Amino acid sequence: MLIGVSFALLDLIEDVPVHFPELIVMETGGMKGRREEMTREDLHHRLKAGFGVEAIHSEYGMTELLSQAYSKGEGLFFSAPAMRVVLRDLYDPFAQPGPGQTGAINVMDLANLDTVSFIATDDLGKEHPGGGFQVLGRLDNSDLRGCNLLLGEVHPV
């Protein structure tokens, strides 16, 4: 199993030819300002070709959370039991979008002891029947985020 941020996995397949069909590859998202952003579909297409695998797995989470959601491919995420993903309407933060509509992702993590982490992200998503959700991209004009980037804001490298 190989787990890595998107830009590092792309760097690897460009620098070192790897063809390992038995490998499970999990991307943890984001270019972290190091490469041009691309759609998840384009990223997974490149990674599948580069590693010679049939599917790319994904992780959706943040350093502020104790729980994560995972996808075994096709971009459909399922969260841990303590994590709740709820969409908010794009124009009214107190409303939820209708079934099948796109909304901004809110995450509640019940795994934190004596507290509840709540994050209103700038990620766009869509809920699916059965509890899964898709991450479709970011809201326009959103700040770049990622643990690597935030560290640089506090302690310039």
- Amino acid identity of 40? R
The answer to whether residues 149 and 101 belong to one domain is yes
Is 75 contained in some domain? no
- Same domain for 99 and 50: no
* Domain presence at residue 70: no
Kindly state whether residue 154 falls inside one of the protein's structural domains.
yes
Q: How many distinct structural domains can be found in the chain? A: 2
Residue 88: the pLDDT is 96
Q: Residue 114's domain is classified under what CATH number?
A: 2.30.38.10
> Is there a single domain that holds both residue 6 and residue 55?
yes
pLDDT score at 145: 54
**Within-domain flag for 65:** no
The answer to whether residue 72 is domain-embedded is no
Residue 142, pLDDT score:
62
69 occurs within a structural domain:
no
- 118-124 long-range contacts (CB < 8 A, ≥24 apart) are 119/62, 119/64, 119/65, 120/88, 120/93, 121/62
Q: What is the SS3 string spanning 40-63? A: HHHHHHHHHHHHCCCCEEEEECCC
Strand, coil or helix: what is 93? coil
Are 93 and 152 in a shared domain? yes
The model's pLDDT over 1-55, given as tens digits with 9 standing for 90+, comes to 999 999 999 999 999 878 899 999 999 987 767 788 788 889 999 999 999 999 9
Same domain, 154 and 117: yes
Domain extent, residue 137, equals 81-157
* Same domain? 155 vs 100: yes
Q: For residue range 71-119, list pLDDT tens digits in order.
A: 998 889 999 999 999 999 999 989 999 888 999 999 999 887 787 789 9
